[in-house]
Amino acid sequence: MKIDEPSHEAVEDIAPEVEPTASEQVALVIEDLRAMMKAEMRYHRSRLDYTRHVFRWAFRYGAVAAFAFGSASMALVLGLVLTLSPLIGPLFATLLVTISFAVVGVIFGILARKWMRKVYFPEMQKNVDDLT
């Protein structure tokens, strides 16, 4: 039996790769630039959506905190009026309402601050922009 050796004639039949012309290269570069611009636009749009989401929740928490602190100040004023009455009961009620609203205000204020800290732009921290 004779083993056939692989022939190398097929390699000679393949035509060498043709370099693209200058106009084809320019078209390829323009196509790459368009794809890059679309990717950059999608990236910045997603960052904007994320920032909008964070600001929305931070505003909600901040609004609840402002309402709670406003209510706490009204409760304090009402409590001072009630404290002038000869009974001891209104003082305890005033303190309880004032402290509870203040605690709610602190909790939602901390949540609002936590949400605001999620907004971070590394470009602003490093000053990457060469134009400024």
**Interatomic CA distance for residues 36 and 30, integer angstroms:** 10
The C-alpha atoms of residue 108 and residue 98 are separated, in whole angstroms, by: 16
pLDDT digits (tens, 9 = 90+) for 62-90: 899 989 888 888 887 677 656 655 655 67
List all residues 6 or more positions away from 34 whose beta carbon is below 8 Å from its beta carbon.
none
pLDDT given at position 11: 55
8 Å CB contact between 106 and 76 = no
Query: What pLDDT does residue 35 have?
Result: 92
* Weakly modelled stretches of the chain, pLDDT under 50: none
Q: What is the pTM of this model?
A: 0.44
* pLDDT score at 33: 92
pLDDT of residue 105: 86
How many residues belong to the chain?
132
